Amino acid sequence: MSASAAEPVDSLRRRSRNGNHTNGVAVEDHRVGDTDTPMEITAKNNGYANGVGGGGWRSKASFMTWTTRDVVYVARHHWIPCMFAAGLLFFMGVEYTLQMIPARSEPFDLGFVATRSLNRVLASSPDLNTVLAALNTVFVLMQTTYIVWTWLVEGRARATIAALFMFTCRGILGYSTQLPLPQDFLGSGVDFPVGNVSFFLFFSGHVAGSMIASLDMKRMQRFKLAMVFDILNVLQSIRLLGTRGHYTIDLAVGVGAGILFDSLAGKYEELSRRHHLGEKTPPRNWL
């Protein structure tokens, strides 16, 4: 090795011994990377990087290395999980002190309490209830039309697959645990399902279908149309609570179900593409 080639190497070694690497990251304060948090740095130094415990049982437990700086960092940059942690502690107290509803009593629903006045208005005005029910049915048809349109016309099957997953799961869950209709339920012959027939309460297909359509619109950057659907979904939820057509939990799970099954449909499409990559015959564009 020539003297000119050895000189940069010796220089790098000297800088490494002095505590500075060539990438400008100091060893003294253990900054492993620009985006590492204090706890992540501790995990890497203890040999737990990438989920591998380098030191096994001999390595120091992570919590034993936490400092005040770590706590402040988490509180500042991860305040949302901190709020959920506080919620966990709060509802643990509620769960152990809350009196259960007697078996022969009506279920308690906070949404029903909030919409008590709306329920009285709709009960005293059947014509208004019918108009709102008809508008709700129109909104359901709008959801259905958009979801089917994305597949048949635009050649994108994700929203349709998500809806198929969602309604099948809803049918299984709705049949498995059949909740009683509230005593002050206000039905209508023009409401969906049309004809005032029986339906599964858990979970809300109205809300989940609207979420699936809205998520697809946002994915396609149709933000104004998505905002319209989100607003109509909120109004739809208020009406469903007011008519006692759904419990609050049905609506909340409906939101989560729309997000979940949209994600599962995306994963299904990705797996389908990977499968077809190994075939000689290319797949059709609709899937």
Structure token pair of residue 32: 């492993």
The tally of domains found in the chain comes to 1
The label of the residue with tokens 């989920």 reads: 51
Domain membership flag for residue 120:
yes
CA end-to-end span of the chain, whole Å?
Answer: 59
Question: What type of residue sits at position 124?
Answer: S
Domain membership flag for residue 17:
no
Question: What type of residue sits at position 42?
Answer: T
Domain membership flag for residue 38:
no
Q: Which of 10, 78, 216, 246 is catalytic?
A: 246
| Contact (Cβ atoms closer than 8 angstroms) between residue 65 and residue 37 | no
- C-alpha–C-alpha distance, residues 282 and 287, integer Å: 11
Task: Based on the residue annotation, tell me whether 77 is a catalytic residue of this protein.
Answer: no
Q: How many degrees, rounded to 5, is the angle at CA 88 between CA 99 and CA 179? A: 50
Say whether pLDDT at 38 is over 90: no
Q: Which of 30, 34, 216, 250 is catalytic?
A: 250
How much is the average pLDDT of 196-206? 81
Task: Based on the residue annotation, tell me whether 21 is a catalytic residue of this protein.
Answer: no
Domain membership flag for residue 169:
yes
Higher pLDDT, 260 or 185: 260
Task: Based on the residue annotation, tell me whether 275 is a catalytic residue of this protein.
Answer: no
Give pLDDT tens digits for 152-199. 999 999 999 999 999 999 999 989 988 888 888 888 878 877 666 667
Domain membership flag for residue 3:
no
Q: Which residues pair with 26 in a beta bridge?
A: 20
Domain membership flag for residue 72:
no
Domain membership flag for residue 211:
yes
- C-alpha–C-alpha distance, residues 128 and 126, integer Å: 5
Give pLDDT tens digits for 72-88. 998 899 999 999 999 99
Say whether pLDDT at 13 is over 60: no
The domain in which residue 178 lies consists of: 111-277
Domain membership flag for residue 147:
yes
Q: Which of 191, 206, 216, 262 is catalytic?
A: 206
Q: How confident is the model at residue 41, as a pLDDT?
A: 64
Nearest in space to 265 (alpha carbons), one of 161, 188, 187, 194 = 161
Structure token pair of residue 169: 């799961």
Give pLDDT tens digits for 96-134. 888 888 888 888 899 999 999 999 999 999 999 999 999
Q: How confident is the model at residue 23, as a pLDDT?
A: 47
